């Protein structure tokens, strides 16, 4: 690479310094269930604010009456609170720049639109989509080429004639005939050639303001100086930069913010992860039993890393290291198996009492305990779960797996129907093994029904004297106790369940073979 080429490449990769007092924002539209892409955006904005000692503003962009819903709005709040992503200004917190729902800011947008029109930065456009397409075809351009600037210089007489036909104008921003470049915090220098971005609509003919107006106006009035958002919005950035110039001229904006466009989150088959993909649905992951620490840790890896060859970290560690300029521009792939693996690490790091407290709602949902909070459980349930915690916590990856592991311990059933996986584990020797096990264990008293003694007794009867390999020896006993191929440690489980029920289960399985 020549010196000139190197200088050019360095210019392309230039990433600007952050402002002294960072103000970022998270501004979702309430149009469906929160998805991992949305939460990744919230997480990176939150991390940047916390890492720099800046402020995070949370507002809602709810001007699309047909698509927005109060249910979605409440789900967004629920998701942020569950994950522990807090904000400094905005919804339910307040601040000097409210209101923080766009549906309550209509008069502000009307006022700004009128000022843009009066200053000549915006103009009235009467062209219909059909007319724009017809003009493109007539000029030899593709039908979907886009708006051609036809209404830029309409005379007052022409405007009056359109109004006489009953037409109402949209408002369009007048784009300058020049290249537009900016230094992206993630991607370096990005340039849009003159004429590549047509004049765009900011207000519909019915008077409704569009995102192209409301979003930059809110950012300007809320003094947002760093905008971190998805790569899918990159094409709208030159429009916003031009609008900021006009807003600065009008005294509405103090500055043009810095932009950072985060990489796409990809799903299966090299396709962008869609809102409709089950893997995208945040609440699906919560229902499966992800804990906030594990899910946030994994989402942080979708474009960023704390250090080479290190995937597991806390949010405090992330805040200490995070700089949005370190985010990679390449698409990030959502790998559910890796997400579950990272969650398992965080589950193991929980204090046992915290692990149990968080597990109880899942246990109630799955029908294995009597209440959905720890304090409301029976004394017996609390005793069994406390004893089971060290056996189970290291063996589950998701809280949704806990019920399968402790259900047999909490149950007083004297026979548990084996699941399909457990049935396959039962070999022809199972009846004889169970007969030996029952005979040996009936000689163990209630007082001696302890983990080590049970292990020693069964090992002697089945392995040493019976001649069975451990897998064949203990497999049928495990299936009898839990009905599952995978369960908590066998002998500890037998101690927790107790002598009477343990023997009954062994005999129950024996009679069904």
DSSP string over 179-239: -EEEEETTTEEEEE-TTSS--EEEE-TTSPBPHHHHHHHHHHHTT--EEEEEGGGGGGHHH
Q: Does the domain formed by 350-408 have CATH 1.10.20?
A: no
The CA-atom distances, in angstroms, between 327 and each of 298, 303, 333 are 14, 5, 14
**Angle separating helix axes 70-83 and 36-52, nearest 10 degrees:** 50
Whether residue 396 contacts residue 493, with contact meaning beta carbons closer than 8 Å, is answered with no
Q: Which two tokens stand for residue 293?
A: 């620490």
Q: Does the domain formed by 8-94+213-349 have CATH 3.40.50.300?
A: no
Whether residue 177 contacts residue 194, with contact meaning beta carbons closer than 8 Å, is answered with yes
pTM for the model stands at: 0.92
Options 115, 159, 275, 364, the catalytic residue: 275
Domain ranges of the chain: 8-94+213-349, 350-408, 420-512
Please write the tens of the pLDDT for every residue from 399-433: 999 999 999 999 999 999 999 999 998 999 999 99
Whether residue 200 contacts residue 239, with contact meaning beta carbons closer than 8 Å, is answered with yes
Measured CA to CA, the distance from residue 257 to residue 244 in angstroms comes to 9
**143 marked as part of a ligand binding site:** no
Q: Which two tokens stand for residue 474?
A: 């203990």
pLDDT of residue 259: 98
Asked if the domains 8-94+213-349 and 350-408 are classified in one and the same CATH topology, the answer is no
pLDDT of residue 12: 52
Element containing residue 434 per DSSP (H, E):
helix 430-441
Please write the tens of the pLDDT for every residue from 7-36: 444 445 678 999 999 999 999 999 989 999
- Residues of the chain short of pLDDT 70, as ranges, are 1-13
Q: Active site includes 275?
A: yes
pLDDT of residue 13: 65
Taking the domain 420-512, which CATH number applies?
1.10.10.350
Whether residue 13 contacts residue 188, with contact meaning beta carbons closer than 8 Å, is answered with yes
């Amino acid at each position: 690479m020549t010196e000139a080429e190197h200088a050019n490449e360095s210019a392309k990769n230039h990433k600007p310094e952050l402002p002294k007092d960072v103000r970022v924002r998270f501004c979702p539209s309430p149009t469906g269930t929160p998805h991992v892409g949305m939460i990744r955006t919230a997480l990176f904005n939150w991390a940047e604010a916390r890492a720099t000692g800046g402020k995070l503003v949370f507002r809602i962009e709810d001007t699309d009456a047909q698509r927005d819903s109060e249910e979605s709005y409440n789900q967004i709040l629920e998701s942020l609170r569950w994950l522990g992503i807090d904000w400094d200004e905005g919804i339910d917190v307040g601040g000097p720049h409210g209101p923080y729902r766009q549906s309550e800011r209509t008069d502000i947008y009307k006022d700004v639109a009128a000022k843009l029109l009066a200053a000549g930065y915006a103009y009235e456009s009467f062209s219909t989509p059909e007319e724009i397409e017809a003009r493109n075809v007539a000029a030899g351009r593709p039908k979907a080429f886009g708006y051609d600037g036809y209404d830029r210089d309409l005379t007052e007489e022409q405007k009056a004639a359109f109004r006489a036909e009953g037409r109402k104008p949209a408002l369009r921003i007048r784009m300058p005939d020049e290249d537009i470049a900016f230094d992206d915090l993630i991607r370096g220098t990005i340039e849009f050639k003159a004429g590549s971005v047509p004049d765009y609509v900011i207000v519909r003919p019915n008077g409704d303001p569009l995102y192209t107006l409301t979003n930059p106006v809110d950012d300007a009035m809320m003094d947002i100086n760093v905008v971190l958002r998805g790569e899918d919005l990159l094409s709208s950035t030159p429009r916003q930069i031009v609008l900021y110039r006009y807003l600065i001229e009008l005294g509405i904006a103090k500055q043009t913010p810095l932009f950072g466009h985060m990489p796409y989150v990809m799903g299966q088959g090299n396709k962008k992860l869609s809102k409709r993909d089950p893997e995208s649905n945040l609440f699906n992951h919560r229902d499966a039993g992800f804990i906030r620490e594990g899910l946030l840790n994994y989402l942080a890896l979708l474009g960023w890393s704390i250090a080479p060859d290190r995937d597991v970290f806390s949010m405090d560690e992330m805040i200490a290291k995070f700089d949005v300029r370190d985010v990679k521009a390449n698409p990030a792939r959502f790998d559910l198996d890796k997400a579950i693996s990272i969650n398992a690490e965080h589950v193991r790091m929980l204090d046992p009492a915290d692990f149990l407290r968080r597990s109880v709602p899942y246990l109630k949902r799955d029908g294995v305990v009597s209440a959905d909070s720890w304090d409301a459980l029976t004394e017996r349930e609390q005793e069994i779960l406390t004893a089971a915690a060290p056996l189970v916590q290291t063996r589950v990856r998701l809280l949704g797996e806990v019920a399968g592991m402790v259900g047999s311990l909490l149950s007083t059933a004297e026979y548990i129907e084996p699941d399909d996986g457990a049935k396959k584990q039962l070999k022809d020797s199972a009846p004889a093994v169970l007969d030996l096990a029952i005979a040996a264990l009936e000689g163990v008293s209630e007082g001696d029904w302890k983990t080590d003694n049970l292990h020693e007794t069964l090992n002697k009867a089945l392995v040493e004297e019976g001649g069975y390999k451990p897998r064949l020896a203990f497999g049928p006993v495990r299936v009898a106790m839990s009905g599952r191929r995978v369960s908590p440690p066998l002998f500890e489980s037998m101690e927790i369940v107790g002598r009477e029920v343990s023997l009954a289960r062994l005999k129950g399985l024996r009679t069904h073979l």
